[in-house]
């Protein structure tokens, strides 16, 4: 108990220091830089306990960890983008999905697309969401039986599973293993939504036998024809994280799906020159805590903030926090557990820096 208290105190000291260092200046109106430039240029996460702030399409997060570029059952793609970062719960989930799918579903391994930038926030290119560390894209292409080179990971393009004229799945590319992989992803309670192309949703609606309850989480959306998108819910301790609306009951194989196959929805972009949200979003549009996230120190290296496998979620976070404050000694193992993002009570007794308006 004593060590726990001591550790909480040490953490508090680090965090107070972090706040002092953040020294956020109120930006001049009109001269405010775009949030995508500020977040898009961060190379490392904010060395703070893991918390998501705001919404999937308007927010940021602290305490990010990176998934290693290579694991036994995954390889990360497009490494130059530096989007292998997520809330530790998201990274742990990807690792678990990759392992379960390989062991139980005949899926040899995952090719990982974008997760988040190190501190989340709007991106310089692509994606409206992926801003709070709780979204991840996974390719429908299975991992090959060899290690892809860095240049292959930049350049290989994935096979679309959907015919762009008919919006139906191309049957020669679709396999039962694709359905098993999606079912596996939907099986985890923390996964709230999986986005797939409407053609893929339709295929599932037409072919899934037996338990169809998991189809509720699988939602049709534009794109998502060569990858699917997993979204987990706000995590314990992230009080500033805005929950998304619940999915409607039922398997979703109804009028709401049929709508996608009418003429009209396939012209979503009425005005292609209109600016996207990320191109106008400023810091003042994001939750106020995102300034603290942006200003917080980094861990000493990418390695210090890289996820190290199952059971190591807490350690990763401790390492992130630890490497930011060299005066902080190695936490005892029981304190590492207390830094685990999965424990609902975690963080409740640790004073976190709060936003204070500048004088």
- Binding residues vs Zn ion (CB under 5 A): 137, 229
**Rounded least distance, CB 223 to Zn ion, Å:** 8
Q: Please check whether residue 320 is in contact with residue 88, taking contact to mean a CB–CB distance below 8 angstroms.
A: no
**Rounded least distance, CB 68 to Zn ion, Å:** 20
Give the separation between CA 191 and CA 266, rounded to whole angstroms. 27
Nearer to Zn ion, 138 or 318 (CB): 138
**Rounded least distance, CB 268 to Zn ion, Å:** 16
CA atoms within 13 A on the CB side of 18: 34
For 247-264, letters b (16+ CB in 10 Å) and e give eeeebbbeeebeebeeee
- H or E stretch covering 71: strand 70-71
Token output for 202: 């339709």
Nearer to Zn ion, 10 or 227 (CB): 227
| Torsion sign (Cα): 45, 239, 36, 152 | positive
Nearer to Zn ion, 116 or 323 (CB): 116
**Rounded least distance, CB 78 to Zn ion, Å:** 13
**Rounded least distance, CB 128 to Zn ion, Å:** 9
**Rounded least distance, CB 255 to Zn ion, Å:** 25
Nearer to Zn ion, 10 or 127 (CB): 127
Token output for 9: 């105190």
Nearer to Zn ion, 188 or 342 (CB): 188
Residue 343's nearest CA partner among 185, 213, 236, 201 is 236
3-state secondary structure of 85: strand
Nearer to Zn ion, 137 or 225 (CB): 137
Q: Strands 74-76 and 110-112: what pairing? A: parallel
**Rounded least distance, CB 136 to Zn ion, Å:** 7
Give the separation between CA 79 and CA 43, rounded to whole angstroms. 12
Nearer to Zn ion, 42 or 229 (CB): 229
Nearer to Zn ion, 137 or 192 (CB): 137
Beta strands, E only, 10-155: 51-55, 58-62, 65-66, 70-71, 74-76, 85-86, 110-112, 135-139
Nearer to Zn ion, 281 or 317 (CB): 281
Return the DSSP state at 29: T
**Rounded least distance, CB 66 to Zn ion, Å:** 17
Give the separation between CA 5 and CA 172, rounded to whole angstroms. 59
- The sheet with strand 227-232 has its strands ordered as 70-71, 74-76, 110-112, 135-139, 227-232, 191-196, 218-220
Token output for 127: 């994606």
**Rounded least distance, CB 226 to Zn ion, Å:** 11
């Amino acid at each position: 108990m004593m060590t726990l208290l001591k550790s909480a105190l040490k953490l508090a000291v680090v965090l107070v220091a972090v706040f002092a260092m953040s020294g956020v200046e109120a930006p001049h109106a009109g001269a405010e830089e775009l949030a995508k430039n500020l977040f898009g240029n961060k190379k490392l996460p904010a060395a703070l306990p893991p918390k998501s702030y705001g919404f999937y399409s308007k927010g940021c997060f602290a305490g990010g960890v990176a998934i290693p570029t290579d694991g036994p059952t995954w390889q990360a793609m497009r490494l130059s983008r530096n989007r292998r970062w997520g809330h530790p719960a998201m990274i742990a989930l990807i690792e678990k999905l990759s392992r379960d799918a390989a062991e139980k579903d005949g899926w040899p391994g995952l090719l990982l697309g974008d997760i988040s930038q190190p501190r989340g926030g709007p991106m310089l290119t692509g994606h409206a969401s992926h801003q709070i560390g709780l979204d991840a894209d996974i390719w429908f292409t299975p991992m090959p039986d060899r290690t892809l080179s860095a240049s292959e990971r930049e350049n290989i393009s994935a096979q679309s599973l959907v015919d762009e004229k008919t919006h139906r799945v191309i049957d020669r590319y679709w396999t039962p293993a694709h359905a098993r992989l999606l079912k596996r992803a939907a099986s985890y309670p923390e996964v709230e939504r999986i986005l797939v192309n409407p053609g893929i949703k339709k295929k599932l609606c037409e072919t899934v036998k037996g338990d169809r309850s998991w189809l509720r989480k699988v939602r049709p959306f534009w794109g998502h024809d060569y990858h699917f998108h997993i979204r987990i819910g706000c995590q314990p301790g992230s009080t500033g994280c805005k929950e998304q609306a619940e999915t409607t009951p039922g398997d979703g194989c109804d009028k709401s799906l049929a709508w996608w196959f009418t003429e009209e929805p396939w012209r979503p972009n009425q005005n292609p020159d209109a600016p996207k949200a990320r191109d106008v979003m400023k810091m003042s549009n994001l939750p106020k805590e995102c300034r603290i996230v942006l200003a917080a120190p980094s861990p000493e290296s990418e390695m210090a903030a890289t996820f190290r496998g199952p059971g190591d979620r807490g350690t990763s976070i401790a390492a992130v926090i630890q490497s930011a404050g060299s005066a902080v000694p190695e936490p005892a193992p029981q304190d590492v557990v207390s830094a685990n993002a999965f424990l609902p009570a975690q963080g409740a007794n640790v004073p976190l820096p709060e936003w204070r308006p500048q004088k």
